[in-house]
Structure 1
Amino acid sequence: KTLLTDAEVYAANVDSVVAINTTGTATASNGFWQTQQPTTGAGSGFVLTPDGFIATNYHVIDGAETVKVAFCNGDTYDAEVIGGEEDYDIAVIKVEAENLKPVTMGDSTLLNVGDRVLAIGNPLGELTFSQTGGMVSSVNRAINVEGVPFNMIQTDASINPGNSGGPMFNQYGQVVGIVSAKYTNTASGASAEGLGFAIPINDVAAMIQDIMTNGYVTNKPYLGVTAMTMSQDLANQFRYDITEGVFISAVDKDGAADRAGLQMGDVITKVDEHEIKSMADLTIVKKQYSAGDTVTLTIYRQGETMEAELTWDSVPEEQQQPQEAPQQPQGGNDQYGNGYMDPYDLFDYFFGNRGW
């Protein structure tokens, strides 16, 4: 590997970066009627293969009806969305092209605080093919992006709306992250300077390849429960003497949790050595495993603590896409086979994280 100057990193990679522009439709309501309003969005991406596969963020293309990409030489293409993974904020799109220049992937686990990193992207949707630079401020930074926990590389490189989905490079010109978020102090409304984030490429490289091949992530781990964060209210309701963990309100028949012997009312408190205090904790931990991996769950049941061996299932293909808002309960058999919505069903229906 050869250390490159910032200018050399840019020259070597700008042809592999794209500006992404999307259009869609959003529903607006004034309280009396709803109208359909056109929407636009902008982001960035980078070339994965010479024949037109491109990586970006899921939120860049989420809800898009048209996706167009532009290269620095002025070439523009209509793009097809191949697939994406919302929980990891990654997506793959494709253009019909040949002889494109793919990026070179690096190893994000080798990054250290203080290392130089660079981002090329489309800030504000207008300042296309801009490069910004800074240092790695933190590695393995756990942050929430719109309520979803992510493991991130933190940097002081300038990151703005429109950079999302673009590549973060190391000093060798290799992609080590996917730029994904800029921290904003929503409580005060003030933006925090020098805080940018990128998804470590090692966390998602295999999933990106999976999406390219299959259209979705085939090995995403799946527990097979309806669950929620344990709380004082739940402890009072069920007379439990714990107030933290993940409360299981339903178990999918013949799913991973069912095969492991988990039951409705169990509370997951650990996965292997990882403490689980909330759904957010379980989400972060689950991202460290793949379908087929076996873990030891520590669970609370009827006042006792016990362990269970669980082998993760893979998420069903039909659940890979964003779920529609739940419809009002209808007649017919419910998930317990009772033929009606009993109180536990209603509790699960309105308060559980279904299909988890």
Structure 2
Amino acid sequence: MKKILSLLLVSVFGGAVTLGAYKLFLEPENKVFTTSTITTPSYLPTSNVTNLNNLADAPDFTIAAENTVNAVVHVKNVTISSGQMTLQDLFSGRSPQRAQMGTGSGVIINADGYIITNNHVINNSDKLTVTLNNNKTYDAEIIGSDPKTDIALLKIEADEDLPFVTFADSDQAKIGEWVLAVGNPFNLTSTVTAGIISAKARDLSGSSTQSFIQTDAAVNPGNSGGALVNSRGELVGINTAISSQTGSYIGYSFAVPSNIARRVIEDIMEYGNVQNGILGITGAALNSEFADQKQISETEGIYIDSVVEDSGADKAGLEKGDIIKEIDNIKISKFSDLTGHIGAKRAGDVVNITVSKNGKLKTVAVTLTRNETYTLPLVGMVKNAKREDLKKFKATNGVKIIDLNDEYKEYWTKNGVKEGSIITSINEQKINTVDDVQDALKNRSPYEPLRIELINTNGEKERYNFR
């Protein structure tokens, strides 16, 4: 028995020694790592000592806000429209009417009560009222509007001098500069949001006719017509549009630059209408692909494809193939850069255009002229005819075709209609100017055929019907 116990103790002792040796000398080392999860709270503490040192670097908008909120107003537009007719209305011979209300914002621009807003805010209004930030309400009169720039001018008769916002030079606004959007979203009193200028000369239409300031300051329905101001409280733009699939702000908002808005309202106040000036060229912005097509080495600027006859560009010697590089020392890289600057000018103003002619830079002074051209559907570009143009065909009135529509050019030339032909009538309306052309098209029913009377280059009078 003792012998068995001795053998058992020896076996246990030997196993323990063997296991200890293995653990000490042979087993590979395993390192242990501890992990800790830091959970971020779903709230931010109202007191954060670590951020106090950064407060001195934060922009201060208090003065800009104080200078602006009382000059931004609430605009209410009441439109009377026909309601759904009932049998009772039908038998009694009455036409039901209902009132529809739209709201927006506006900016007081002088102490006498002139207010600038968007054209779409006041369009088709039967009654307009303006409510100030002190809750006083006034009836408003429309002085004038311009659908093209979406700018309108209102007037209220207040019993006191009103607070107003002064204009800044929007050409001097910089990308990355802090701005405030002030307006009346959701029918609230003046509300301030902050952001930066994200881009300039944005064209939302794709037709190179617009030039918006883009900002990431929150703008929502009701902000239309409100103020975009810089950190000094000066007016940089009129908030006009947002880019959103939901109809609410998602990070992109757009404002008409103050230089364009100011020129429009000055024209309305002085002339009663907008005195748009044009350069008188057609063309496109250069890029690598377009430059390859034209077999030129330059990839920045506006390539001039054609020059309008008798325009300021024509008289200044600009030609097809020239490349516009600058206007008034402002670099031009896209068409909206050009239209944005010209949009702040009027007919008769002079601009300095720097062009590349055969690789050599040249600066010329161009006097902007009134727009005397219009693109007539199916036909092409027409312009006001000069006396000698009419005399050539013994015509007493008409506009001249200066560029035929590429798609229909073969059809026209086959019938003897070429550049220089005179259009004398559209849908029985006598045509004297391009304004008459626009009026004839505006008055035409969409179901009515387009009827054009013209004198072709052979001196023959012809009539064309298009459905």
Contact 1:177 1:198 in 2 (8 A): yes
Aligned to 1:28: none
2:280 to 224, 236, 242: 224
In 2, the alpha carbon distance for the partners of 1:279 and 1:22 equals 38
In structure 2, the CA distance between the partners of 1:350 and 1:58, relative to structure 1 (3 Å rule), is farther
In structure 2, the CA distance between the partners of 1:207 and 1:102, relative to structure 1 (3 Å rule), is farther
In 2, the alpha carbon distance for the partners of 1:285 and 1:173 equals 23
Q: C-alpha displacement at 1:252, in angstroms?
A: 3.1
Contact 1:83 1:215 in 2 (8 A): no
State how 1:91-110 maps to structure 2 within 5 Å.
91-99=152-160, 101-105=162-166, 107=168, 109=172
In 2, the alpha carbon distance for the partners of 1:40 and 1:292 equals 40
Contact 2:106 2:225 in 1 (8 A): yes
Aligned to 1:292: 349
In structure 2, the CA distance between the partners of 1:246 and 1:284, relative to structure 1 (3 Å rule), is farther
1:241 aligns with 2:282: no
In 2, the alpha carbon distance for the partners of 1:173 and 1:74 equals 23
Q: C-alpha displacement at 1:240, in angstroms?
A: 4.7
What is the percent sequence identity of the aligned residues?
A: 24
In structure 2, the CA distance between the partners of 1:161 and 1:206, relative to structure 1 (3 Å rule), is same
In structure 2, the CA distance between the partners of 1:67 and 1:174, relative to structure 1 (3 Å rule), is farther
Aligned to 1:120: 183
Aligned to 2:423: none
Contact 2:353 2:364 in 1 (8 A): yes
Aligned to 1:32: none
Between structures 1 and 2, the one with greater helix share: 2
Deviations 1:251-281 (A, max 9, x none): 232x312211245x44544335666566434
1:131 aligns with 2:191: yes
Q: C-alpha displacement at 1:228, in angstroms?
A: 4.1
1:49 aligns with 2:106: no
Aligned to 1:75: 137
State how 1:307-318 maps to structure 2 within 5 Å.
307=362, 309-315=364-370
State how 1:153-192 maps to structure 2 within 5 Å.
154-156=215-217, 158-169=218-229, 175-184=235-244
In structure 2, the CA distance between the partners of 1:54 and 1:240, relative to structure 1 (3 Å rule), is same
In 2, the alpha carbon distance for the partners of 1:341 and 1:55 equals 36
Contact 1:334 1:345 in 2 (8 A): no
State how 1:331-350 maps to structure 2 within 5 Å.
337=389, 345-347=403-405
Q: C-alpha displacement at 1:205, in angstroms?
A: 3.6
In 2, the alpha carbon distance for the partners of 1:333 and 1:196 equals 36
More relative contact order, 1 or 2 (CA 8 Å, 6+ apart) = 1
In structure 2, the CA distance between the partners of 1:349 and 1:100, relative to structure 1 (3 Å rule), is farther
Query: Partner of 1:222: helix, strand, or coil?
Result: coil
Query: Partner of 1:315: helix, strand, or coil?
Result: coil
Aligned to 2:270: 213
Q: C-alpha displacement at 1:98, in angstroms?
A: 4.3
TM-score w.r.t. the length of structure 2 is: 0.51
Contact 1:47 1:100 in 2 (8 A): no
Q: Aligned partner of 1:195: which letter?
A: Y
Query: Partner of 1:141: helix, strand, or coil?
Result: strand
1:84 to 115, 136, 146: 146
Query: Partner of 1:261: helix, strand, or coil?
Result: coil
In 1, the alpha carbon distance for the partners of 2:399 and 2:259 equals 44
Query: Partner of 1:145: helix, strand, or coil?
Result: coil
Return 5+ residue gaps in structure 1 as ranges: 26-37
Contact 1:9 1:171 in 2 (8 A): no
In structure 2, the CA distance between the partners of 1:284 and 1:54, relative to structure 1 (3 Å rule), is closer
1:259 to 299, 315, 332: 315
Contact 1:58 1:91 in 2 (8 A): yes
In structure 2, the CA distance between the partners of 1:145 and 1:102, relative to structure 1 (3 Å rule), is farther
Aligned to 2:419: none
TM-score w.r.t. the length of structure 1 is: 0.64
Return 5+ residue gaps in structure 2 as ranges: 1-59, 82-98, 410-433, 436-467
In 1, the alpha carbon distance for the partners of 2:201 and 2:324 equals 19
Q: C-alpha displacement at 1:222, in angstroms?
A: 2.0
Larger radius of gyration: 2
In structure 2, the CA distance between the partners of 1:335 and 1:276, relative to structure 1 (3 Å rule), is farther
Between structures 1 and 2, the one with greater strand share: 1
Query: Partner of 1:181: helix, strand, or coil?
Result: strand
Contact 2:215 2:253 in 1 (8 A): yes
In 1, the alpha carbon distance for the partners of 2:274 and 2:139 equals 25
